């Protein structure tokens, strides 16, 4: 458990929030800009390093505030250049952050929650249950840590991180305020200056929150579709029972049309062998997404222990892609990166202190199923 100091953590404050903080301690609002640059452009966590701030104010800040990122537990670098950090958050759980360099781009995949309550059937994060929402400082803190590790300071001049995707652990729309604050810092010139097109929030489809998001921000949006019909999606993405396809796609359409300027929805579709990878699924998807402004990203399933799913063959993946492509869709297949350090999509497990006890139940149910299967096989043999 990370100890609480009772001080205000300035790391997670947006510019307006930091201005209010300075006002609340009887100081001028412009100090916010100075301090944000020190924190985010220069990676500073020590008030004494802020050379354009006088000693009296630095002492005042030291008494009431701090700049504290999550604790880095480990950092791994894959043979393909992918990096993974495990960081400990205040609740005591650990979450993961992944950096993926590709061509001239560097994409940081950021976590929003320790674990996830939504329990998608093929996701290892979901299988661990839920522990806690990350604070805004813990969300932006992942960008802060990654950026510092490249030594590319100031961040805005020599950028290692060009894109951020909220596709790490957790459902970002269920930690709305903290995720929105952190994304605002990512886009702010006083923060990381990343363009709104290059910050992407991925959701499993919490429809009302997609509409709420559209009221406050204009980042890019990705929907984790994974199935082209409600019965199958109910099995794979249980939140679909609450917000079925028609409802969630309506919210996405509203969100995208607000953005204008030729922006499109990214559809993520994890391909699971013999489950959602058949030509009939591609055909249903084509019908479902007819006239929808979108691009499709196919993610071959990344296995994890006891998942019960398999990755389709390269031929089936290609066949699925071709069908969508022939119907006029822009379709990419996500290449798996960082497998040697378990950094691929859906492999992020951190170390979640599960409050829901789902992981225990999951293992117990898997064991029962395996035993039932073994006894069935034995009966069949006799
Ligand atoms: N909770 C959000 C964002 C995090 S998951 C969401 O669901 O959209 C990021 C993406 O990885 C999602 O599309 C998710 O469905 C996918 N994913 C999860 N487990 C996976 C696995 N084992 N293999 C491949 N993709 C997976
Ligand atoms: Fe949660 Fe996303 Fe995993 Fe579903 S896929 S369990 S929403 S993290």
What is the domain-level CATH number for residue 34? Answer: 1.10.150.530
User: Residue whose CA is closest, atom 26 of ligand 1?
Assistant: 346
Residue 1: is its pLDDT beyond 50? no
Asked if residue 84 and residue 45 are part of one domain, the reply reads no
Question: Per residue in 75-108, pLDDT tens?
Answer: 999 888 899 999 999 999 999 999 999 888 999 9
The residue segments making up the domain with residue 46 are 8-66
| 208: in domain | yes
Query: What pLDDT does 299 receive?
Result: 95
Look up the CATH number of the domain holding residue 293. 3.20.20.70
Higher pLDDT, 379 or 62: 62
Atom of ligand 1 nearest to the CA of 123: 19
| 373: in domain | no
Asked if residue 39 and residue 118 are part of one domain, the reply reads no
Q: Is 301 in the pocket of ligand 1 (CB under 6 A)?
A: yes
Query: What pLDDT does 262 receive?
Result: 83
Asked if residue 151 and residue 36 are part of one domain, the reply reads no
| 375: in domain | no
| 302: in domain | yes
CA of residue 168 to ligand 2 center, whole Å: 9
Asked if residue 287 and residue 154 are part of one domain, the reply reads yes
Tokens 């309550």 belong to: 117
252 marked as binding residue: no
Sequence-distant (6+) residues with CB within 8 A of 244 are 230, 233
Q: Is 171 in the pocket of ligand 1 (CB under 6 A)?
A: yes
| Number of domains within the chain | 2
Q: Summarize the confidence of residues 180-187 as an average pLDDT.
A: 98
Query: What pLDDT does 223 receive?
Result: 98
Band the pLDDT of 152: cuts 50, 70, 90. Answer: low
| 382: in domain | no
User: Residue whose CA is closest, atom 13 of ligand 1?
Assistant: 224
Atom of ligand 1 nearest to the CA of 224: 13
CA distance linking residue 283 with residue 295, whole number of Å: 16
| 368: in domain | no
Q: Is 346 in the pocket of ligand 1 (CB under 6 A)?
A: yes
Distances (CA, A) of 104 to 101, 188, 357: 8, 22, 42
Asked if residue 233 and residue 182 are part of one domain, the reply reads yes
Asked if residue 267 and residue 198 are part of one domain, the reply reads yes
Residue 339: is its pLDDT beyond 80? no
Asked if residue 108 and residue 48 are part of one domain, the reply reads no
Query: What pLDDT does 369 receive?
Result: 47
Q: Is 297 in the pocket of ligand 1 (CB under 6 A)?
A: no
Asked if residue 187 and residue 50 are part of one domain, the reply reads no
CA of residue 32 to ligand 2 center, whole Å: 36
Instruction: State the number of CA atoms in the 13 A half-sphere of 58 facing the CB.
Output: 12
Asked if residue 294 and residue 155 are part of one domain, the reply reads yes
Determine whether 345 is an active site residue.
Answer: yes
Q: Is 204 in the pocket of ligand 1 (CB under 6 A)?
A: yes
| 16: in domain | yes
Asked if residue 111 and residue 202 are part of one domain, the reply reads yes
Q: For all residues of the chain together, what is the average pLDDT?
A: 89
Asked if residue 116 and residue 53 are part of one domain, the reply reads no
Residue 251: is its pLDDT beyond 50? yes
pTM: predicted TM-score of the whole model, two decimal places? 0.90
Residue 380: is its pLDDT beyond 70? no
């Amino acid at each position: 458990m990370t100890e609480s100091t009772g001080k205000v953590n300035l790391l997670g404050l947006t510019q307006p929030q930091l201005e209010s903080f300075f006002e609340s301690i009887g100081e001028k609002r412009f100090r916010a800009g100075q301090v944000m640059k020190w924190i985010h452009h220069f990676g500073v966590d020590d008030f004494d390093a802020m050379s354009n701030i006088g000693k009296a104010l630095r002492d005042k800040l030291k008494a009431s505030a701090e700049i504290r990122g999550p604790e880095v537990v480990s950092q791994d670098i894959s043979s393909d250049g992918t990096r993974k950090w495990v960081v400990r958050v205040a609740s005591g759980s650990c979450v993961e952050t992944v950096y993926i360099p590709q061509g001239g781009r560097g994409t940081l995949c950021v976590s929003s929650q320790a674990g996830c309550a939504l329990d998608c059937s093929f996701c290892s994060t979901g299988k661990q249950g839920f522990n806690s929402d990350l604070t805004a400082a813990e969300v932006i803190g992942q960008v802060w840590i990654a950026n510092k590790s490249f030594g590319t300071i100031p961040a805005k001049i020599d950028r290692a991180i060009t894109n951020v995707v909220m596709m790490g652990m957790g459902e970002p729309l269920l930690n709305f305020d903290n995720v929105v604050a952190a994304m605002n810092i990512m886009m702010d010139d006083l923060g990381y200056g990343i363009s709104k097109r290059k910050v992407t929030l991925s959701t499993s489809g919490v429809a009302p929150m997609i509409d709420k998001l559209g009221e406050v921000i204009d980042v890019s949006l990705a929907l984790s579709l994974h199935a082209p019909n409600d019965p199958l999606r109910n099995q794979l993405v249980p939140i679909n029972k609450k917000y079925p396809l028609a409802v969630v796609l309506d919210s996405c359409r509203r969100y995208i049309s607000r953005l204008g300027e030729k922006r499109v929805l990214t559809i993520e579709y994890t391909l699971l062998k013999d489950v959602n990878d058949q030509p009939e699924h591609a055909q249903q998807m084509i019908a479902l997404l007819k006239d929808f402004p979108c691009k499709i990203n196919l993610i071959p399933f990344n296995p994890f222990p006891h998942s019960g799913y398999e990755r389709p063959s390269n031929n089936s993946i290609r066949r699925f892609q071709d069908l969508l492509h022939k119907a006029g869709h822009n379709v990419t297949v996500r290449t798996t990166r960082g497998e040697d350090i378990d950094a691929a999509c859906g492999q992020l497990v951190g170390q979640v202190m599960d409050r829901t006890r789902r992981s225990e139940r999951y293992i117990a149910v898997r064991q029962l199923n395996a035993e039932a299967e073994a006894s069935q096989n034995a009966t069949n043999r006799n």
